[in-house]
Amino acid sequence: MNQKSEAALDTWINREALAETMIPLIGRLYRENNVVTSIHGRSLINQSVVGILKAHRFARQIDDVELPLEETFPVLQALTELDLGAGSVDLARLLAKFKTEAAGSELKDFLREELAEIVGKRGADARVSTDVVLYGFGRIGRLLARIMIGHSGGGHGLRLRAIVVRKGSENDLVKRASLLRRDSVHGPFEGTISVDEEQNTILANGTLINVIYSNDPSTVDYTAYGINDAIVVDNTGRWRDEEGLSQHLKSKGVSRVVLTAPGKGGLKNIVHGVNHKDITSDDKIVTAASCTTNAITPVLKAINDKYGVVHGHVETVHSFTNDQNLIDNFHKGERRGRAASLNMVITETGAAKAVAKALPELEGKLTGNAIRVPTPNVSMAILNLNLEKDATKEELNTYLRGMSLDSELHKQIDYIDSPEVVSSDFVGSRRAGIVDGLATIANGKNAVLYVWYDNEFGYSCQVIRVLEEMAGVHPMLFPVVAKEPVVEAIG
């Protein structure tokens, strides 16, 4: 082995060793202090050594170099010594702020001042635990379960207490647990799952989930299971108006309802990051809109805020769903009866019109259509926009990249400019949508943006954010996120 090879291997081994040392610190902060650590929004909780290294490598999108573990490790060490209360801490942003605003001072003194609101409060969490019931346990329901189980931490915030389904077979419970344990798209469940058929419960990573069988959303007595003041997440899609969803509120132990689909009538359609502050304590029922609406609305808001949108067309290239047939057969919808795995299928979408429910300033400015394609997950929205102001490709990309890294929409918008990415690379993305910078087209006031989105997992993350908002259980964020992006150049 030559010297270069030996040096490269030694560097890798040393970085692996440092990442291994970080894992127990990350875990201790999470379990003892209720502190969630991340790097530019990429959570470090329950990450492997390679996962931690990849999170540090992501920092190349900011300044063209990986974030050195030698710099983040001292931050982690200092955090463990501050006896913190609950919060969400971005190591990369803290480090950047330290370098630009506190150069020459002691790191621990900077952190003590920056995190003053939670220093010395050892695990204290002002959030109250909120019971959550999943009504329906399909694609979205199971992903919501995975996310809530993974975020259970010290028991604060959202607590998954039950799922409600119609009994499908004698071994229904085992089958439900198996579908939670294994997923052909999203991979195996990270943890352990056991079933108690006598008590009709599923135990997943310490979260005890009651499995309740019912055909009527208005007659379940949740208090009999110790569930009170719960939020019911209806992911069946069966009821989409206030009258139908209000049935849940007749059940004992239920106080609020969230629908994982676009609502009808006067129900608030919430896209977190855009209009989540419209949720009030008086709202008993809200909807989390659709996956496509969640993917495009944050990007459209960002563009409209800076350049203005005169009008536009949204073309959605969407993976097939359970609503379509595997092979040609009768379907009440047009074209959807044709084999989903063999055809591209033109269909309608209400996503363009639905944007206006979250972003009223775009009322009447968007049209839309959709094409279902033979892939099981990850979709793309093509935004063909006419702008009020001229923009170049570089200007648009620099702006959107900045929004993805340091703005109030950083949890919704992601950005990538790799020449080799394809749809499967975005499976598991926690962002509502990912702007593909290399595909951006701009010519004066005309712009075309390509936005990828995991229509299952990314959307589920948005639903969780709506739930957290409704329950008032968002953790405190450090450092405070800027309203406008601060990144100046792509590099």
Could you please report the per-residue DSSP string of 109-165? HHHHHHTTTTTT-TT---PPPEEEEEE--SHHHHHHHHHHHHT-TTS-SEEEEEEEE
HEC string of 291-353 equals: HHHHHHHHHHHHHHHHCCEEEEEEEEEEECCCCCCCCCCCCCCCCCCCCCCCCCEEECCCHHH
The span from the CA of 154 to the CA of 34, in Å, is 6
Q: Report the length, in residues, of the chain.
A: 491
CA distance 382 to 194: 43
Q: Domains of the chain: which residue ranges?
A: 3-115, 130-260, 291-456
Q: Which residue has the tokens 């992006």?
A: 485
Q: Which of 115, 147, 291, 302 is catalytic?
A: 291
CB neighbour list of residue 405: distance below 8 Å, 6 or more residues apart: 40, 61, 62, 415, 485, 487
Give the helix/strand (H/E) hosting 67: none
* Helices 107-114 & 69-80 angle (0-180, nearest 10): 60
291 an active-site residue? yes
Q: How many CA atoms lie within 13 A of 115 on its CB side?
A: 34
Distance CA 63, CA 82 (A): 29
Please say whether the beta carbons of 47 and 53 come within 8 A. Answer: no
The Cβ of residue 470 has, within 10 Å, a number of other Cβ atoms equal to 24
Beta bridge pairs of residue 287:
259, 269
Contacts of 147 (CB under 8 A, 6+ apart): 460, 461, 464
Q: Look up residue 321 and give its two tokens.
A: 């769903």
Interatomic CA distance for residues 452 and 441, integer angstroms: 15
Candidate CATH numbers 3.40.50.11260, 3.40.50.720, 3.40.50.410, 3.90.1660.10; the one for domain 130-260? 3.40.50.720
Gap between the Cα atoms of 410 and 429, Å rounded: 13
One pLDDT digit (tens) per residue for the chain, 491 residues: 578 888 888 888 999 999 999 999 999 999 888 899 998 878 898 899 999 998 888 777 655 668 899 999 999 999 999 999 989 999 988 998 898 888 778 999 999 999 999 999 887 777 778 999 999 999 999 999 999 998 876 666 899 999 999 998 999 999 999 999 999 999 999 999 999 999 999 999 999 999 999 999 999 999 999 999 999 999 998 999 999 999 999 999 999 999 999 999 999 999 999 999 999 999 999 999 999 999 999 999 999 999 999 999 999 999 999 989 999 999 998 999 999 999 999 998 888 889 999 999 999 999 999 999 999 999 999 999 999 999 999 999 999 999 998 789 999 999 999 999 999 999 999 999 999 999 999 999 999 999 999 999 999 999 999 999 999 887 788 987 655 444 333 22
- CA–CA separation, 62 and 58 (whole Å): 8
* CATH code of domain 291-456: 3.30.360.10
pTM above 0.75, yes or no: yes
Strands 87-90 and 193-196: unpaired
Contact 460, 140 (CB under 8 A): yes
pLDDT of residue 11: 86
Helix 393-405, helix 291-306: angle, nearest 10: 120
3-class SS of residue 419: coil
Q: CA-to-CA distance for 392 and 367, rounded, in angstroms?
A: 24
pLDDT at 385: 98
